[in-house]
Amino acid sequence: MELFEMTAAGLSRLLQTEEISAVEVVESFLGRIEKVDPYVKAFITVSAEQALQTAAAVDRQRAGGEKLHPLAGVPVAVKDNICTKGVRTTCASRALENFIPPYEATVIAALHRLGLPVLGKTNLDEFAAGASTETSAFFITRNPWDRERVPGGSSGGSAVAVSTGMAPLALGSDTGGSIRQPAAFCGLTGLRPTYGRVSRYGMVPLASSLDQVGPLAMDATDCALLQGAIAGYDLLDSTSLPDEVPDYGAQLEKPVSGLRLGIIAEQQGEGFDPEINSAVTRAVRVLKENGVIVDEISLPHQRYALSAYRSLVSAEFSSSLGRFDGVRYGLSQPGENINRMFSQSRGLSFGPAVKGRILLGTYILSAAQYEKYYLPAGRARTLIARDYSEAFQRFDLLVGAVTATPAFKIGAKRGDPHQMALADLCLVGNALAGVPSISVPFGAAGGLPVGVQFTAPPLREDILLRVAYFLEQHRESGTIRPRLSFLEEGGGE
């Protein structure tokens, strides 16, 4: 087996016993990127030199007998909306095409401190405002299971990097499904942590009241390892939670029996692909057969989730993108006066999807529309969060589909915000409530991977990872890697 085919936990074992070096590991993944990325276009920037430097430092420390973190030397791909000091951070936008952050995001500082080399920055929808990775200003990322299809988004580049063995682990961000949906479309385990569990400092915001950084990995064990590495309190993020971070890995093998599982009526059934419904049913059956107590639950305000989400995200997005004026950083056009400079710079900076979001947010926040769209969205959010809170009085976790369909064709929903929003149907309610959710690969639909989604009370990522680990032991196929037949056929860009 090649190093790039191994899981992060497998690499960690070999690194700790010094059977392999961190430099060998990084070189293996860089070689894989060179070979595979032209076909799927997951990376915007590959930071080979920095990754090799980190790996060499880890090897020196290990040779010197230093006690290192289990993931020291295991490389990571990072979504390109997370600031990396000295490495271009573009948000897949012309606005930041040449932006080199002078500071490090807290999660990146944690990776450096623990010795995880950063392989590069992965593609996304421009400013993460999308669900397919088609609206990147640079290129579309392709789903390795079928290159005519999207990988999901907005963390599509991160998902494809892990799925194809170009990185064993990746960081994504999830505002309303941007980790979980690409994880489902690419056959990965993707965790949206509790809001505030992972620092957002240095993550370029889409909607600050919803954004959360989280891991994408091949399995629950790897997901638990990376989540443990990035979680924790951060003085630089005022929404950061001060609670202690548990050892997620140590709890994976705890029994699932006795857990109370609620099947969300609104997140499967009519309108969902039959094979996705079947995956949810089979996952529930396996859990029930192993002592999980199952019942149904309705989240009655779920029907307002999409509209509340769209309203709040657009409002927050238009405000936070006000900072891009071309003065201190970012694309800049000289204008005859400062107002023209702002509007020309911003006009050239953003693509149509981002412009649409900015204008919708501007409209919603105007005095005449605030009470019509923004205020009710905040009220609906209260009710949605209350639904989850009441559900967790009865249940330890909830289950439903991640998406109504498997990965869709490139272009099928492009430019149609309504169709694209439907892809977020099961993903935004839990995000509005701030609770953690996980996408677990389980089954397939038409040869494409399918994810089942579990949601837990705040700070109970451990339950989600435990159930994900359990299902891995009980799914039909062991590994969920695409067969990259296109490598033999040629045709990479």
Partner 1 sequence: MNKLTDDQVGQLARQASLEVDAEECRQLVERLNRELEMLQPLTELDLPAVEPTFCGAAHPAPRREDEVVPSLSLEQVFQNASTRDRDYFKVPQITSWEE
Would you please indicate which residues are annotated as catalytic (active-site) residues?
79, 154, 178
In the complex, minimum distance from the CB of residue 315 to partner 1, in angstroms, rounded to a whole number: 9
- Could you give the CA distance from residue 120 to residue 140 in angstroms, rounded to a whole number? 17
Query: Please, which residues bridge with residue 173 across strands?
Result: 213
Strand-pair category, 169-173 with 76-79: parallel
Q: In angstroms, what is the minimal distance from the CB of 174 to partner 1?
A: 12
Answer whether 81's CB lies under 8 Å from 23's CB: no
Q: Helices (H) and strands (E) in the chain — how many of each? A: 16, 11
In the bound state with partner 1, the residue whose beta carbon lies nearer, of 379 and 409, is 379
Inter-CA distances, 51 with 10, 46, 301, 303, 423, Å: 19, 9, 46, 45, 35
Distance of CA 344 to the CA centre of its chain: 32
CB 490 to partner 1: min, Å: 37
Q: Measured from the CB atom, is 186 or 191 closer to partner 1?
A: 191
Nearer to partner 1, 108 or 312 (CB): 312
Residues 6+ apart with CB under 8 A from 135: 92, 125, 126, 129, 351, 352, 353, 354, 414
Task: Measure CA 41 to chain center.
Answer: 17
227 Cβ contact partners less than 8 Å away, ≥ 6 residues apart: 191, 193, 198, 214, 215, 248, 461, 465
CB 407 within 8 A of CB 40: no
Nearer to partner 1, 101 or 249 (CB): 101
CA 37 to centroid of chain Cα atoms: 19
Question: Which of 28, 430 has the CB closer to partner 1?
Answer: 430
What is the distance between the alpha carbons of residues 410 and 395, in angstroms, rounded to a whole number? 38
| Angle, vertex CA 15, rays to CA 14 and CA 18, nearest 5 | 90
Nearer to partner 1 among residue 435 and residue 484 (C-beta): 435
Specify the residue, 31 or 356, whose C-beta has the smaller distance to partner 1.
356
Residue 486 CB, nearest approach to partner 1 (Å): 34
Q: How far apart are CA 16 and CA 169, in angstroms?
A: 18
Taking the C-alpha atoms of residue 144 and residue 160, their distance in angstroms, rounded to an integer, is 7
In angstroms, what is the minimal distance from the CB of 431 to partner 1? Answer: 9
Minimum distance from residue 357 beta carbon to partner 1 (Å): 8
